[in-house]
Amino acid sequence: MIQTERLILTPETPELWSIKDHSGNTLGQLGFLHDLFSIELTESSKKLGVATEAATAWLHTHNTAQIQAVKPKSLESLQFLKKLGFTEAKHHLAWHGQLPENQYQQLNQQLGIATDSIKTPHHPSACQLIDCGPDVFNRPARLTPEATQAWHEMQLTATKDGVVLQLVSAYRSPKYQAGLIQKKLDNGQKLKDILTVNAAPGHSEHHTGRAIDLTTPESEALEEHFDQSKAFHWLNEHAASHGFTMSYPKNNPDDIIYEPWHWCYQAPDDN
């Protein structure tokens, strides 16, 4: 068995490994048969770095074995294998034991963010996402299956109490987060100031698929005066019973500005 931050890989046979998250949900499988290295994922786990994380961990533990891969026909698969450290030989790809850096660390490097200067902790990404929207701007939105259910239940309970909770933002990928920061840098803002509003890629809670930014009709989105609204007072009293807590209160240790609109879901049995 191989454990990573988000995944558990278990050999079903020596050639076939199941990929699950820590809650036991099956996300896909990894195979290594007749030199053919392959990964299949469920739809809701694609493009979340699950394949890279699973492959990296598997390659790491098989470091001593001579690992080759059949040259794939699809360009996407070829790029994936190259990203994992495979290089092209004559008729196949060969692995030389070089493992890639985490994507969020690469993104931080590109932005000029020094990893050791980041006060907000690193948060593991979501393993799977489902639709939880639309948001208040009628855009699609996604969260983990557990957070989606908790959010919908909380929203419904609030409605019954005469309180309207609206979604402003849910899942944002580390790459999207990097884009937000890059845009502000391009507009001349200082990195130090930006990081008090936008957490560095890999350090935001939005890529966990458990964080939501909320608003209500009587308030402007992402404004501090949200804390004067009926919705905020309702959240203070009832959000915890739905598993949501406010991540960035006044003077938080993460050095993020006061964000009364930002709430994060934590499953009751999680530590």
CA distance 154 to 158: 6
- Tell me which stretch binds Zn ion (CB under 5 A): 51-59, 112-120, 152-160, 262-270: 262-270
- Tell me which stretch binds Zn ion (CB under 5 A): 17-25, 39-47, 120-128, 254-262: 254-262
Name the residue among 65, 63, 62, 53 with its Cα closest to residue 28. 53
Ranges within 187-216 binding Zn ion (CB under 5 A):
213
Min separation Cβ 4 and Zn ion, Å:
26
Query: Which residue lies nearer to Zn ion by CB, 101 or 223?
Result: 223
Question: By rule CB under 5 A, what count of residues binds Zn ion?
Answer: 2
Structure tokens at 91: 């008729």
The contacts of residue 193 (CB under 8 Å, 6+ apart) are none
- Cβ pair 107, 207 in contact under 8 A: no
Which residues are 36's β-sheet partners?
33
Min separation Cβ 261 and Zn ion, Å:
7
- Tell me which stretch binds Zn ion (CB under 5 A): 81-89, 195-203, 214-222, 261-269: 261-269
- Tell me which stretch binds Zn ion (CB under 5 A): 59-67, 82-90, 128-136, 258-266: 258-266
Query: Which residue lies nearer to Zn ion by CB, 28 or 260?
Result: 260
CA distance 57 to 72: 21
CA distance 27 to 41: 6
Given 262, 263, 264, 265, the residue binding Zn ion (CB under 5 A): 262
Min separation Cβ 145 and Zn ion, Å:
20
Min separation Cβ 65 and Zn ion, Å:
43
Structure tokens at 125: 């990404």
Min separation Cβ 206 and Zn ion, Å:
6
Strands (E), the chain: 2-3, 7-13, 16-21, 26-33, 36-41, 68-70, 86-88, 92-95, 130-131, 142-143, 166-169, 211-215, 244-246, 262-265
Query: Which residue lies nearer to Zn ion by CB, 123 or 262?
Result: 262
Min separation Cβ 250 and Zn ion, Å:
16
Min separation Cβ 264 and Zn ion, Å:
8
Strand order in the sheet with 166-169: 166-169, 211-215, 262-265, 244-246
Structure tokens at 259: 């964000």
Query: Which residue lies nearer to Zn ion by CB, 6 or 262?
Result: 262
Query: Which residue lies nearer to Zn ion by CB, 29 or 148?
Result: 148
CA distance 222 to 213: 8
**Closest residue to Zn ion: CB criterion:** 262
Structure tokens at 83: 């990203």
Min separation Cβ 238 and Zn ion, Å:
19
Which residues are 157's β-sheet partners?
none
135 binds Zn ion (CB under 5 A): no
Which residues contribute to the site for Zn ion (CB under 5 A)?
213, 262
